[in-house]
Every structure is written in structure tokens, then in C-alpha cells.
Amino acid sequence: MSPPLLQVNDLKKHFPVKSGLFGRKSEFVYAVDGVSFEIARGETLSLVGESGCGKSTVGRAILRLFDITAGQVILDGQRIDDAHPGTMRQMRRRVQVVFQDPFSSLNPRMRVRDILAEPIRNFGLAKSAEDLEVRVTSLMDTVRLPREALNRRPHEFSGGQRQRIGIARALAAEPELIVCDEAVSALDVSVKAQIVNLLQDLQSEFGLALLFISHDLAIVEHMTHRVAVMYLGKIVEIAPRREIFAAPRHPYTRALLSAVPLPEPGAQRNPIILKGDVPSPINPPKGCRFHTRCPLVFDRCRVEEPVLRAVGTEQWVACHLEDGTVATSG
Ligand SMILES: Nc1ncnc2c1ncn2[C@@H]1O[C@H](COP(=O)(O)OP(=O)(O)OP(=O)(O)O)[C@@H](O)[C@H]1O
Ligand SMILES: [Mg+2]
């Protein structure tokens, strides 16, 4: 059996920060603190959770934008967290990224033609100048932008069109996995839907896998195969779309979902309001990290950290309530 396209094993990323008077105290932000998951070829895994829970840090670790603190990132059976420079180059080609704001990630002085040609040249994908031209023009067709637009610069496009350029640039490298970090979050509702549809079309056309990072569960619901829910640097639940949306098991997942509007006009869920703020990732709570805000907290949660347990064939939950033992106090 071939390995999954991507395997992330017990990934940790702790950022050193200075704090205290005159910045004399050294502490760590436990941004990602022991995260494991897999993505199959052609699969979309969505990573959701409130701001600051570590979603982008997971994405950046996979893109190898920094050294990780601990754990492993394995692409197609090969470790990329400590790969040799030669292998690293190929790995970088195989995993591409689309960011939220293509304006800041697209060089404003470059024409679209050059923006798209750059990765093709960098990775030595074109056999000739003609081949380069064919690739660049067909990328425009793929993301449904007019070929004339090749001679324009990023500021001449709307937000949705710029995001298409960002997607075309990612595709230029012929990747197997694209990390989409809030790729549609800044767009208007109708444009959002168009870009999501485009991503889905590209996925089936090229057999692409997507790590779809989003805080917007309403968007995720329409396009993902599986969902991983993060809270303060950990995955608290991971399951196929149907299970997450129809039978969420973690109290945090339930609270997040209760805030998602229902499609039928006038219909409303019973929102679960979580008390308090998200604690600081510099000093995360002992035991279950969610215990300070959990409506179902009991004694064990304050002292013992729950591990991810299978509660179905493909559903995993880190909650003591799913342990089979009954809670004794509130
Ligand atoms: N370079 C850095 N140095 C120090 N702390 C960082 C750094 N990058 C991220 N962090 C911190 O790590 C935590 C996780 O950040 P991250 O950007 O991964 O969250 P996120 O889930 O993507 O949030 P958002 O939904 O707002 O994009 C946050 O507390 C953030 O402030
Ligand atoms: Mg982020």
C-alpha cells in the first residue's frame, strides 16, 4: 500500500518570545503543540478553529517556512522536516500555497505572465520557450482568466481575479498538495463561492489534495472531505464532513457549529455561547486546554489531558466525556 500523500506526526512549533520588564523573560508561544493527521491524494482536509489556535502555523510548517520544534512532516513517505537541499527543492514544488491576500503575495511590479513563468522556470518544468508560453496561457484557461490579462499587473484585477492568479501561480509548479490559508476569507460571498467551485474543479481535474485552512465553517461544509478542529495548538476532533456537521462529539466543535447560520431563511440553531476568552498559548491551561470554557467540564478535565480517541471508524475526539466513564461532578 502506498503511503498517504501527507503525514504529520506529533508536530510542535513553539515560538520563543521575550516578555516581562525590559523583555528579560524568555517564554514560548505553544502555537502548535502535538498535532497529527494525514491527507490522502486528492483529498480536502479542512483545518478550522478560532483565531490564534495555530492553523496557519500548521500550514507554514508543512510548507517548511521555518524549522519545526518537534515531530515529523512526511510527504509521500519522505520526511520534509529534515530533507537534504536537493530533495527539499522537489518537495517545495510538490506543496504549494495560496494565501488570503494575493495582493501582498503577488509582486505588484510583475506582469501576470512573469508571475506565472517564475515557478515554471525555478523548477525547470518548461522544455523550451514555446513550452513556457503554452504553459502560461493554459494556466490562464485553467483558472478561467482571459489570456489578454497576461500582460497586466496585479493591481488591475479585482480581489477574486487576483485570487485566481494566486491559484494559477500555485498550479504552475504542478503540485500535489495546495495549502489554502484563508484563501477565500477576504472575498465577497458570491466571489467566495466561485473560487471554492474553481478549487473543487481543479481538485478533480488534477487529483490535487488541499489543506483548506479556514475559520468559516459555512464554507467548509460545502467543499471538504474531512475536518480537523483545532483549539489552542491541538486537534480536538477530526472526522469526515458528515460526522462533523451531523454528529459533532467535542463540546468545542458543537459550540463552533452552533454559530454557523442555517441555509433555510429564518431557521436558527441554538447558539452555544462559550464563556471567557481563549487562554494565552504562552500559558495554556493544564489538563484539557478547553476546560476553562467548556460547558460540560468536570474534575478530570482540569488535571488530565485527553488524547484523541476513535469514536467511530473515522471520527476521533479528544474529550474525557468520550472515554466511556461517566462524569461525576459538574
Ligand atoms: N512568528 C511568530 N512568533 C511568535 N508567535 C507567533 C508567531 N506566529 C504565530 N504566533 C502565535 O502563534 C499562535 C498561533 O498563530 P496562527 O497564526 O497559527 O493562528 P491561526 O489559527 O492561523 O489564527 P488566524 O485565524 O487569526 O489566522 C498565535 O498565538 C500567534 O500569535
Ligand atoms: Mg491564520
The full DSSP string for 188-201 is: -HHHHHHHHHHHHH
Rounding to the nearest 10 degrees, give the CA dihedral for residues 183, 57, 234, 38: 70
What are the residues facing 178 on neighbouring strands?
Answer: 96, 210
> Could you tell me the CA-to-CA distances from 168 to 64, 97, 292 in Å, in that order?
21, 11, 44
Mean pLDDT of 156-176: 95
Q: Which amino acid is at 174?
A: E
Contact 95, 173 (CB under 8 A): no
Burial of 179 (0-12, 13-18, 19+ CB in 10 A): buried
Mean pLDDT of 139-153: 97
Specify the higher pLDDT residue, 104 or 219. Answer: 219
For position 325, what pLDDT does the model report? 53
C-alpha span between 304 and 49 (Å, rounded): 22
- Is the model's pLDDT at 267 over the cut of 80? no
CA of 55 to the centre of ligand 1 (A): 8
- Is the model's pLDDT at 310 over the cut of 90? yes
Of 49-58, 140-149, 225-234, 258-267, least confident by mean pLDDT is: 258-267
pLDDT band of residue 263 (cuts 50, 70, 90) is confident
Q: Decide whether any atom of ligand 1 lies within 6 Å of the 321 Cβ.
A: no
Specify the higher pLDDT residue, 291 or 18. Answer: 291
Contact 46, 219 (CB under 8 A): no
The fraction of the chain above a pLDDT of 90, given in percent, is 78
Q: Which amino acid is at 139?
A: L
Q: Decide whether any atom of ligand 1 lies within 6 Å of the 187 Cβ.
A: no
CA of 200 to the centre of ligand 2 (A): 21
Helix (H) or strand (E) holding 310: strand 309-310
Domain ranges of the chain: 6-323
C-alpha span between 328 and 321 (Å, rounded): 11
Top CATH class of 6-323 equals alpha beta
Cell of 150: 497576461
Average pLDDT over the chain reads 92
Mean pLDDT of 310-328: 83
CA of 77 to the centre of ligand 2 (A): 27
Q: Decide whether any atom of ligand 1 lies within 6 Å of the 17 Cβ.
A: yes
Pocket test for ligand 1, best of 17, 28, 29 (most atoms within 8 A of CB): 29
- Is the model's pLDDT at 72 over the cut of 90? yes
CA of 54 to the centre of ligand 1 (A): 6
Provide the 3-class DSSP secondary structure of residue 218.
Answer: helix
Question: Which single residue is written with the C-alpha cell 491559484?
Answer: 167
C-alpha span between 93 and 178 (Å, rounded): 10
Return the closest-CA partner of residue 182 out of 53, 28, 305.
53
Q: Decide whether any atom of ligand 1 lies within 6 Å of the 216 Cβ.
A: no
